[in-house]
Amino acid sequence: MVSSSHEALHRIFQKDPALLTRALQSVLRIPFPEPREFAAMNVDLTEIEPVEKRVDTLLRAETDDGAYLLVVESQGKPDDRKRGSWPYYLSYLHEKYRCEPVLIVITQNSATARWAAEPIHLGVRGCPSLTVRPFVLGPDNVPVIVDEREAERDVPLAVLSAMTHGRGPQAAAILENLATALRTIDPDSAAVFVQFVDSCLADRQAQQMWRDLMTAIQYFWRHPLAEQVRGEGREEGREEGRAEGWAAAILRTFQRRQIDVPDPVRDRILASTDLDELGTWFDRSHEVADAGELFTEGP
């Protein structure tokens, strides 16, 4: 179980390392060479005993231009101690592995992103001996993915979008389209991504919306977090909970799209216990122009 936002923000790159280099290339416009393969590495950078140094995630990327070490740090708030430890990480890794280290910082906070992006100069002021320039991924440059087809084309990037923009004004649209996109990938990967997003949603309303959506499409029940939220229950209770989740997701979609829902339509949605039927209605709720069209067969 992913226990914190800090953990999820870097673990997503362990799940899908290629997302990291895609973010460097497409989001930050860094001309990073296309990797042939990735390897996870030991994150412990302690040399002897006295001082422990540990990065969040460390990946080795093999490219036609040689090997790179991708150092991923998730940062919740500014921490001046990092101005010393980040240069240490890069110098130590370069000396130990003789590979080019690349520092990537990921955050959900714009102020923290601006702080992290400031170059670190060590040495004489105006003429430093060492300069470190972190690459930062945060809410100011990670794309806001609110289009369902775009989310389906790149589910990991859509997950990263939800993790960094989960407290923003478009959180509802991001989460709803991500929920739909998760149904297009294998359930085991989807279940992991669900945990990452849930851990990063600091806004209670957004987190509850996400849990309702996930309960509806059953991924939520693949993880122990479900037991914390709903407690242990019999299978029929879970089926009822999933139906309620689907219904809530449909009505929330209409609310977001500013489509009025007449009482008879609302009552029929809330009364349904057929999960297949509710899933079909959820898909249609993103397309129809009138709530009454929800139950109409065909295009």
62 bridge partner residues: 37, 67
Contact 289, 254 (CB under 8 A): no
Widest CA span in the chain:
74
pLDDT tens-digit profile of 3-61?
Answer: 567 677 777 888 888 888 888 888 888 888 999 888 877 776 655 444 446 788 889 99
* 242, two tokens: 């999933």
Higher pLDDT, 48 or 295: 295
pLDDT at site 63? 92
Backbone angles phi, psi at 80, to 5 degrees: -65, -20
> Given a cut of 90, is residue 213 above it in pLDDT?
no
With b for 16 or more beta-carbon neighbours within 10 A and e for fewer, the 179-189 pattern comes to: bbbbeeeeeee
Q: DSSP 3-state assignment of 189?
A: helix
pLDDT at site 50? 42
Q: How far is CA 78 from CA 68, 100, 195, in A?
A: 26, 26, 25
pLDDT at site 120? 94
Helices 204-216, 275-285: inter-axial angle, 10-degree rounding = 130
pLDDT tens-digit profile of 67-115?
Answer: 999 999 988 899 999 999 999 999 999 998 999 999 999 998 899 999 9
Q: Which of 259, 159, 254 is nearest to 210 (CA)?
A: 159
DSSP 58: E
Could you give the CA distance from residue 236 to residue 9 in angstroms, rounded to a whole number? 35
pLDDT tens-digit profile of 253-285?
Answer: 888 788 888 888 888 888 888 877 887 888 788
* 180, two tokens: 């739909």
Could you give the CA distance from residue 269 to residue 244 in angstroms, rounded to a whole number? 9
pLDDT tens-digit profile of 119-175?
Answer: 999 999 888 999 999 999 999 999 999 888 999 999 999 999 998 888 778 888 899
pLDDT at site 100? 93
DSSP 32: P
The pTM for the full model equals 0.68
